[in-house]
Structure 1
Amino acid sequence: MKILRRSLLLLFTILLLAVFYNYPKLNIIAGYAAKMSGSSVFLAKRSLAFTDSTDTNFSPVNLASNRVDAETKTTYSSAFGLLTRKAEYREGLGNILVLDGTNLAEDMPVPKRNRLENDLAFPYGNKEPKDTVFSTVDYTKLNATVDAMFNDVNKTRAVLIVYKDKIIAEKYDTNFDKNSILLGWSMTKSITSTLFGVLQCKGAMNIYDKAPYEEWKNDDRKNITIHNLLQMNSGLEWDENYNTISDVTKMLFLSEDVTTAQIDKPLVGKPNETWNYSSGTTNLLSGILRKQFNTHQEYLDFWYSALIDRIGMNSMTIETDMKGNYIGSSYAWATARDWAKLGLLYLHDGNWNGDALFDKDWVKYATTPTPTSDGWYGAQIWLNAGSRYPDVPKNMYSFNGYQGQNVFVLPDQDLVVVRLGLTKNADVNHFLSEVLNSFK
């Protein structure tokens, strides 16, 4: 009997230690599941069953069980019944992950929208585009190239190709269409950066000024500029690892205020000499944007009035943290057509049908390689200057996100290519080269 008791005590101790050791991981697993499930159901208008079988159906996130309360628009995700995370949907702010023991303010301000309404066709309005046939395009080859992106390996949800402002190819996976709202993940970073371009070109900001953080004024971090942050070349410590408990997973799933996640990090390199991809840096930039305005309402409105609604990205919502700050690193949702509009804005040097949001100098700045990035990165924009895609022009640049969200801009070809999906398995170099080979 004593042996049995000792065995049971040992087993209980092992289980207790296992739970203690894995509890932080369970917190992040349940947090991811609650965040994604609620956004998919309440923002993108998909069913929970569909979300469970697709967006959250990968290890270890699929270990969580999810349920939604349609009346309160609340999502609950449980990890083995040991830990439950909650997220609350707020119209205009998205699905907000709530920390245990805390509550969202009832009176959180929401952005005021002025959605573009006119009788123009895409892209300058939201009416259906007129059919346009270009003699220089081999549509049979182009459509075959697009079709090849849709299979169980690539898991593509949407492809949209715009040539000379005209849609020449558009395809969606089953259960998706032109009205489907899709998460851009880190393509949101390019939205955040673009707002700095708007302010810079208005003369309302100088990106070469020192970053406005009092916490840095008494050490070498005082030399970090907004420019360094835009290029992710500040030298600040940051671990962007989604496979473990890291700086980025703690920021996204365990933080009330994402704009402060990197403020207290030390320098591990020198500004302008140490490129390191960091979602924390982008959320520092979101915090800097907040500092430009007297009220939180002005900050919330600016993202839409200065850019998103101004170019008719009517479907877009950028989600916030518990403090109402935009999670500028990760959480913008929009249709494929609206994601294409951002690419077209850059293709046209910041001019949107006669409305100048920024100028070609900003495009040149944003697409100039960051020192020590091997030609891969500009100002929150990915580049091909280092021939990452060898069969694609070197001046191609793109907005990229987790699981293969992409808006590719090819200036010489007057082309914007959007691909949205659930994996990065697609051979982007082959896909883009085949698109280009479709032109005679």
Structure 2
Amino acid sequence: MPDPTAPASGPGAATAAWLERYEHALLTVFGRPQLVLERGEGAWVWDIEGRRYLDLVGGIAVNALGHNHPALVVAVSKQAGQLVHVSNFYTSVPQVELAERVLRLAGAPEGSAVFFCNSGTEAIEAAVKLARRTGRTGIVAAEGAFHGRSTGALALTHKAAYREPFEPLLPGVTHVPWGDVAALRAAVTDETSALVLEPIQGEAGVRPGTRDYLRAARAVTHDVGALLVLDEVQTGIGRTGTWFAFQQAGLVPDAVTLAKGLGGGVPIGALVTFGPQVSTMLTPGMHGSTFGGNPLACAAALAVLETIEGEGLLAHTVEAGEHLERAVLALGHPLVTGVRGAGLLRAITLAGDHAVALAAHARDAGFIVNPVAPDAIRLAPPLVVTTAELDLFVDALPGLLDAATAPATPRQDTTAPPDRATKDAP
């Protein structure tokens, strides 16, 4: 077996063989994977070569409890031994308990309700159908938005490279500049069914909406009778330090979409509707999902929520995120221009388009990060990550930045201390 403390200069034989099999068996919509991962523990993962990596992406904000958390393992194992799936002609105890828990954590008023599905994209699709029930067809979204890749959700997503191969898409969608209140006021009219926004734009580079911007969104939709739908697929379930990011803006939306962290890695999504007027717009037969709200996924989600609450992970997320920001800025490195985001959804912005190179050098040094934009890397680690683990990355960051901007040479080594990033798990 290769030395797990050695820096990775390229895929080993086992990895290369599996990647070749991957490319012969799977649609290559994700491109060629970077690693073949085998197991995980906490904030760490191991590949099939035995190399260890600090997972600072967390399945793109999915693995809220990290990898192999005992509470999630026990919950899934127990439920799998009892009941995995029933059709939605019936319900189950985990489904009802999870809906009640989500409504309580959201501070939803009496008459609110939850629809469970399997992904964030599906939650957005449900929100689009909810919006259509207003009798209007116009939808306003933001430039830079990412709301999913199904044809309905893709109409709300802004990136041209995602949209153009599949046009024409759902009509009536208008995109306005992000953070521009005047643009919102001009675009949201009495023909608008819904305004759909992310409190923090994740795929656009972790760009937060200000409190004033989100409150203005609530005001303009209220004025014209349109729905305010907040896409919290990435920001929800404690990721920003509160259960939902909208709670930091002090407002009540009409609907919220959830997924990612809700199941801690088990697929589940949700549309949460606020108040009886909105919650009665979709009636029996108007929407559904074969797997939505199945007992296994709901049991997993309950374990995630109970663990976040029981282990004080909301407060930890705030503290760890602030620690990370302070530590990165304290480096004073000329290539770091800032840190933005909230809680443990952060972007480190760079003075130049170095994110892809930085991510590659970080991976070789035993850190998984996401080059979310040419000049920014996204960090969305498990909420259980420790400040000591974050410091491993911060300590390595200057060397990684220098390596990422050095003249191109064959990558035989890395300036980050691989022994710290790849040592055995605590």
TM, length-normalised to structure 1: 0.25
TM, length-normalised to structure 2: 0.26
> Highest relative contact order (Cα 8 Å, sep 6+), 1 or 2?
2
